[in-house]
A and B are shown apart, each in its own frame.
Chain A
């Protein structure tokens, strides 16, 4: 069975932002936390953050590991090679992206990973008018090829395309996916923030609309019925319905992992179930 990993490149210089993008505040945690956590809740395999040599990173979601790039300043292809190599023994494919994608949606990630059909080495979205190699799918076996190209002094992503089988995914192809069409119809998954103004505009947006359900002893007075709220994190969703993620309360997003991580990012279309931590019996 094919396992997919996640790779987040965090070692960029953030020149135009003026401060490290990884540390940008995002609804109580950081932009890097959000990106890594969105990958972790989407792919079945490991998630690794690639950092520059000596780079200090903010706290990361549980289970996400760090791979340090041994060489500084060689750009995203170097980070990509390190990241793919770090997960190659545990996953056949990986979704790799930059840190600065505040609206990255799991539906987009899944759609891109499905583009890695047999014989395809890279699923390259061409979305919103640009090629998106930093929001794309890769065979992890490409790590060696990328390292070889870098050793030859070729640092441009475009060179990789000439040496492997690339499946381009157009806007139309991405939007043919019903989940992408429903939850990310303008493909904001690939919108990045490079300047303080872009960051501020993104941060000022309303949190995503999600659905909350409460069960058991948490569902007093008809509270089990689904209700819509706006919340960017699990903690915000809990607060919106008067709950706290303490020892007696846990949550599951879309019927998947059970968690108490208040910083866990939510996205448009999520359904959050709050249940008693002592469920069972």
Chain B
């Protein structure tokens, strides 16, 4: 019997040629219970459907939109979905989460996941509803930003369709292109390039069915309780100032990456701070679909218009590039949205290029730290993959450093090819481990170990056993939240997270499960991600940080230095491998593969 909240099947869509075909792919209760949905189920689907060592931009490489049992319930923040594929940026597993009505409509096509393979003959849109799938040529959408493509598609096909679309960068297969919907983005790892490689400009879904949960009254009561708790102090930061509140705080604790990680404090930080901008420019607050937190903060732009700003895009396009004028950063963020590229990878790659210019390794003298106009010019070059600089930077910093040489890889701000988020590893050493070992690459959402560093409960400058435990713990919690799926901004409202989550899942699915089973599930999902990467050629050598982080101490405002050398990081990685039951080379023993259900 299909558990509550699920349909027990995925839709496999093949867009090869001029027509789309759709086939049901059964998802057994055992698989659903073992992987929950979202990122977990997406990882399992990649194992089953991606040919080993497939080129991420090849037609046969699958791209999966994955939902979960919670999608469509009244539980706050549950209108989320995961997009999972092999990343053209890292060559490994990537998964991105986003929130929008697309999640609900996509699931209510009657599927727990939609997997797209093949390559359309011409730029097209893919439509999916309860009646099946169809491909429609859409040459008129070529070159449009995702938001305009969404508007245009709705006007052509009807307002009851929900859309996920790519911008021009995705069409041109920039390796860190995004997939967007309702102004939200599945941002990291180049998922937009994967969709672009399939010649699909947009995926449209329309709800045509319903799904029932095991205990409707229980779910409603839990939803009311969760909503009430979502208004408490644990979410105050997101509600009152949004994620941009991190910027000034991180600057104060020397963990705001600046000028390509050459410093961790930025003299221009106050100009970009949420605390200042909120007073001067704050115009609105917004929520994702089905969310009661409302973390989006919208700021007015000089000369008209407005822009949603988050910590990560401000860090990457501001301090990381040495830019302090908020209007320059607003403009750069807007340009990333128009082009459809990941702001973190864009900012990181441009900052690396700026340092290359300083060192005489790239002959583009206009590309200087602190020049907001130069950032915009570089973004345009990337989005159009213009010959020379644009083509180079569209590859991401790791591939670009391989072209430029001269040890520029040592200061390319990436792990496994994914550019680092706005957390300085040397002054956040639990996070340093999390960034080094995570399957997706340098990532703050799949490993939120900064929580431990900023908790005051361990020495953030002296990584050791406690930091390993913290990194493992946050990775486990993220694996469950990203699979069941709930927004991580809710994480602080759960006093006993695994128990609370098990209770929610039980109400929706009807399963009798407890915290212990959910902890096992977390470990299974983390292990499945690593298993996929190992299958695709990853080794222990990929679990590291850029040489700059391991060779150059970081001066703190206090006068002390933050030092993270290869020995300390290696010791933490060894501890992580041991905690995860891996061998010394980070490989999974045969027994550890048994419960991954890779043959199920």
* Interface, chain A (partner B; CB < 8 A): 1, 44, 63, 106, 110, 179, 213, 215-217, 219-220, 222, 224, 248, 250-261, 273, 275-281
Contacts and interface: CB of A to CB of B under 8 A. Distances in A.
Given A257-B460, A260-B456, A276 B237 contact: yes
A219 B560 CA distance: 27
Interface in B437-461: 444, 448, 450-451, 453-456, 459-461
B273 A278 contact: no
Given A256-B560, A277-B456, 9 more contacts: A1-B553, A110-B559, A217-B233, A254-B559, A255-B557, A273-B249, A276-B245, A279-B249, A279-B454
Contacts, number: 118
Contact of A217 (B241, B265, B488): B241
A54 to B, nearest CB: 31
Of A213, A224, A281, chain B has the most CB atoms within 10 Å of the CB of A281
Of A110, A259, A273, A280, chain B has the most CB atoms within 10 Å of the CB of A280
Nearest to B565: A1
B283 interface: no
B99 to A, nearest CB: 14
A30 to B, nearest CB: 21
B20 to A, nearest CB: 38
Interface in B221-254: 233-234, 236-241, 243, 245-246, 248-250, 252-254
B25 interface: no
B423 interface: yes
Nearest to B457: A260
Nearest to A253: B558
B454 A222 contact: no
B444 A280 contact: yes
Interface residues of B, number: 47
A252 B241 contact: no
Contacts of B273: 224
B451 A215 contact: no
A277 B457 CA distance: 11
A63 B466 CA distance: 13
Contacts of A280: 246, 423, 444, 448, 450-451, 454
Contact of A222 (B246, B279, B557, B563): B279
B514 interface: no
Contacts of A110: 559
B283 to A, nearest CB: 19
Given A250-B454, A258-B453, A281 B249 contact: no
Contacts of A259: 456
Contact of A275 (B249, B274, B423, B460): B249
B556 interface: yes
Interface string B307-336: 000000000000000000000000000000
Contacts of A277: 454-456
A255 B245 CA distance: 16
B536 interface: no
Contact of B234 (A216, A224, A248, A256): A248
